[in-house]
């Protein structure tokens, strides 16, 4: 097969956005995916408000708006059925009213791919990449086969791996590191016939795990349940999922009139981090760079943003005709610096949600101090810098409110 400037593995949000960013810079690109689209993907389908600006830059926002998508006003959070806060997104720094898109992945990914189809990028569906090709220490292409099992080698100056959580680079170069949510599993299904009280992403922290519920259409919601794998204990997955979701009275009130409209899908080993590739010619974007946790629902934004950052560094590599590790690793540094505090926040939230009494108090405090709650959802929505929340002053105010929040409340009720 003919050589390209860039091969991108994977046509999810990271791969399609990387293709569109890099095509604008005049590169010859092949975008490969083992699937044929439209294809589905387990996801909370709740997209950070900050993603709008990137969709707009890529020319995709118009086609997303054309399907009349659900737009969420903010986040509602309950802790162990004992405390509750509902908070609207605060306006952005320039006074814009913020909202988040809630779009089924089957549609979103296909709309992004539609934009790729209208570009100069060569899209090859049904092509599974099985290995990376090397020239000395640099990656110089990929090897794989098409749907007829015919093998191909394709060469390029740079390979962008956007293959998601099981991407070939993570396996081939052993880049995946320990997980902070080892043993957790996500179970997801769309429900029909539900009556959600408003246009919010509803997060219910409860035993034996938490759920994220987002409306994705008329009386339709996406319900993701995160639990310890061990709590399934050999039960039928669909029965376990339905009964666990409905065990929580708040969820039962929202979903009780409805039913899952499909078989439950599962994803395990949720959070992981990833080492920098030890070679040139290779750049990782999206979930291939690591995954924090679905609780803050930011994976799509982080994927788009990582591709935006990567495209700048790759363009620089073409300008200098240097695709070495040294040239490309500045992307990793920039990305890690930008996302560092978000990852820290995610880890703090993980600790919090599995500490019931503290979690109840913090959510209660957020309910009483809407400015603190607003700042937190703005950070989770990726348009307020994480440093505004991951700082002494914010944590002190939160701790102050939490310490003052009626200790008797906890003594009298059993969690
Ligand atoms: C339970 C759960 C809930 C989530 N909820 C949210 C949420 O509410 N909001 C949010 O923003 N994010 C959420 N996320 C995260 C979000 O789904 C991911 O961050 C996002 O899909 C990452 O995009 P990506 O393009 O990197 O990978 P993917 O979307 O996984 O795309 C990877 C693509 O690569 C292809 N591919 C892989 N390997 C190969 C190969 N060898 N050859 C060819 N093709 C290959 C696959 O077919 C796939 O199409 C959630 C994730 C989970 C697990």
CATH code for position 199: 3.30.9.100
The confidence score (pLDDT) of residue 2 equals 76
> 388 CA distance to ligand 1 centroid (A)?
28
Closest CA to 104 of 94, 96, 95, 112: 112
- pLDDT tens-digit profile of 163-202? 999 999 999 999 998 765 568 999 999 999 999 999 999 9
Residues 49 and 139 both lie in one domain: yes
Q: Does the Cβ of 45 fall within 6 Å of ligand 1?
A: yes
- pLDDT tens-digit profile of 251-271? 999 998 899 999 999 998 678
Residues 228 and 296 both lie in one domain: no
Q: Does the Cβ of 352 fall within 6 Å of ligand 1?
A: no
Instruction: Tell me which residue has tokens 């709309």.
Output: 111
Q: Is residue 74 part of a domain?
A: no
8, 9, 11, 12, best to mutate for ligand 1 pocket (most atoms within 8 Å of CB): 12
Return the HEC string of the chain: CCCEEEEEECCCHHHHHHHHHHHHCCCCEEEEECCCCCCCCCCCCEECCCHHHHHHHHCCHHHHHHCCCEEECEEEEEECCCEEEEEECCCCCCCCCCCEEECCHHHHHHHHHHHHHCCCCEEEECCEEEEEEEECCEEEEEEEECCCCCEEEEEEEEEEECCHHHCHHHHHCCCEECCCCCCEEEEEEEEECCCCCCCEEEEEECCCEEEEEEEEECCEEEEEEEEEHHHHCCCCHHHHHHHHHHHCHHHHHHHCCCEECCCCEEEECCCEEECCCCCECEEECHHHHEECCHHHCCHHHHHHHHHHHHHHHHHHHHHHCCCCHHHHHHHHHHHHHHHHHHHHHHHHHHHHHCCHHHHHHHHHHHHHCHHHHHHHHHHHCCCCCHHHCCCHHHHHHHHHHHHHCCHHHHHHCCC
> 201 CA distance to ligand 1 centroid (A)?
20
Give 413's pLDDT tier (boundaries 50, 70, 90). very low
pLDDT over 90 at 76, yes or no: yes
Give the position, in ligand 1's atom list, of the atom nearest the Cα of 287: 26
Among 245, 268, 291, the domain-final residue is 268
Among 235, 252, 268, the domain-final residue is 268
> 372 CA distance to ligand 1 centroid (A)?
31
Among 225, 245, 268, the domain-final residue is 268
Q: Are 224 and 294 in contact (CB under 8 A)?
A: yes
- pLDDT tens-digit profile of 336-346? 999 999 999 99
Q: Does the Cβ of 35 fall within 6 Å of ligand 1?
A: yes
- pLDDT tens-digit profile of 37-63? 999 999 999 999 999 999 999 999 999
- pLDDT tens-digit profile of 368-409? 999 999 999 999 999 999 999 999 999 999 988 776 655 444
**Residue nearest ligand 1's atom 29 by CA:** 12
Average pLDDT over residues 126-130: 98
Residues 307 and 379 both lie in one domain: no
Distance between CA atoms of residues 398 and 40, nearest Å: 39
Q: Does the Cβ of 167 fall within 6 Å of ligand 1?
A: yes
End-to-end CA distance of the chain: 62
The confidence score (pLDDT) of residue 297 equals 76
Residues 131 and 170 both lie in one domain: yes
Q: Are 30 and 124 in contact (CB under 8 A)?
A: yes
Domain containing 358: what range? 351-412
Q: Is residue 335 part of a domain?
A: yes
Q: Is residue 388 part of a domain?
A: yes
**Residue nearest ligand 1's atom 31 by CA:** 12
Q: Does the Cβ of 44 fall within 6 Å of ligand 1?
A: yes
Burial of 347 by CB count in 10 Å (0-12 exposed, 13-18 middle, 19+ buried)? Answer: middle
Residues 149 and 280 both lie in one domain: yes
Q: Is residue 88 part of a domain?
A: no
Q: Does the Cβ of 164 fall within 6 Å of ligand 1?
A: yes
Residues 29 and 115 both lie in one domain: yes
Residues 320 and 196 both lie in one domain: no
CA distances from 364 to 78, 254, 404, 406 (A): 9, 21, 11, 10
Give 353's pLDDT tier (boundaries 50, 70, 90). very high
Task: Give the residues across from 88 on adjacent strands.
Answer: 74
The confidence score (pLDDT) of residue 415 equals 32
The confidence score (pLDDT) of residue 367 equals 95
Q: Which residue has the higher pLDDT, 216 or 402?
A: 216
Q: Is residue 154 part of a domain?
A: yes
Residues 192 and 240 both lie in one domain: yes
Residues 50 and 133 both lie in one domain: yes
The confidence score (pLDDT) of residue 91 equals 97
Distance between CA atoms of residues 361 and 79, nearest Å: 9
CA distances from 403 to 221, 399, 408 (A): 36, 6, 12
The confidence score (pLDDT) of residue 227 equals 95
Q: Is residue 77 part of a domain?
A: no
7, 9, 10, best to mutate for ligand 1 pocket (most atoms within 8 Å of CB): 10
Q: How many domains, the chain?
A: 3
Q: Does the Cβ of 143 fall within 6 Å of ligand 1?
A: no
What CATH number did the domain enclosing 24 receive?
3.50.50.60
Residues 121 and 139 both lie in one domain: yes
Give 121's pLDDT tier (boundaries 50, 70, 90). very high
Give 410's pLDDT tier (boundaries 50, 70, 90). very low
0.85 exceeded by the pTM? Answer: yes
pLDDT, the chain, mean? 93
The confidence score (pLDDT) of residue 414 equals 36
Q: Is residue 222 part of a domain?
A: yes
Length of the chain: 415
The confidence score (pLDDT) of residue 3 equals 83
Give 26's pLDDT tier (boundaries 50, 70, 90). confident
Q: Is residue 18 part of a domain?
A: yes
Residues 155 and 40 both lie in one domain: yes
Residues 223 and 281 both lie in one domain: no
């Amino acid at each position: 097969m003919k050589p390209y400037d860039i091969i991108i593995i994977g046509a999810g949000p990271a791969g399609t956005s990387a293709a569109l960013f890099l095509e604008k810079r005049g590169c010859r690109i092949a975008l490969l995916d083992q699937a044929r689209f439209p294809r589905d993907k387990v996801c909370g389908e709740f997209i950070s408000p900050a993603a709008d600006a990137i969709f707009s830059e890529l020319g995709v926002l118009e086609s997303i708006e054309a399907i009349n998508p659900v737009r969420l006003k903010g986040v509602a959070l309950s802790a162990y059925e004992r405390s509750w806060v509902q908070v609207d997104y605060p306006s952005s720094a320039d006074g814009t009213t913020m909202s988040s898109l809630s779009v089924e992945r089957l549609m979103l990914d296909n709309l992004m791919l539609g934009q790729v189809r209208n570009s100069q990028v060569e899209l090859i569906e049904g092509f599974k990449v099985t290995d990376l090709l090397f020239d000395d220490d640099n990656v110089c292409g990929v090897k794989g086969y098409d749907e007829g099992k015919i093998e191909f080698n394709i060469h390029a100056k740079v390979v962008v791996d956007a293959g998601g959580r099981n991407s070939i680079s993570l396996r081939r170069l052993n880049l995946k590191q320990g997980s902070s949510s080892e043993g957790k599993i996500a179970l997801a299904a769309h429900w029909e016939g539900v009556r959600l009280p408003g246009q919010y992403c509803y997060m219910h922290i409860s035993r034996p795990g938490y759920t994220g519920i987002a409306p994705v259409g008329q009386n339709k919601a996406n319900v993701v349940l995160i639990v310890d794998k061990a709590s399934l204990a050999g039960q039928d997955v669909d029965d376990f999922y339905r009964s666990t979701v409905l065990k929580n009275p708040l969820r039962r009130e929202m979903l009780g009139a409805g039913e899952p409209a499909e078989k439950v899908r599962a994803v395990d080993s949720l959070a992981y981090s990833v080492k920098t590739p030890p070679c040139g010619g290779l750049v990782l974007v999206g979930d291939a760079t690591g995954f924090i946790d679905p609780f803050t629902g930011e994976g799509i934004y982080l994927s788009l943003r990582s591709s935006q950052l990567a495209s700048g560094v790759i363009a620089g590599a073409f300008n200098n005709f240097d695709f070495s590790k040294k040239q490309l690793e500045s992307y990793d540094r920039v990305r890690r610096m930008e996302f560092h505090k978000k990852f820290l926040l995610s880890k703090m939230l993980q600790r919090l949600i599995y500490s019931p009494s503290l979690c109840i108090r913090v959510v209660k405090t957020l309910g009483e101090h809407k400015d603190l709650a607003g700042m937190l959802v703005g950070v989770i929505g990726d348009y307020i810098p994480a440093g505004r929340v991951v700082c002494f002053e914010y944590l002190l105010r939160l701790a102050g409110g939490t310490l003052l929040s009626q200790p008797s409340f906890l003594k009298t009720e059993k969690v």
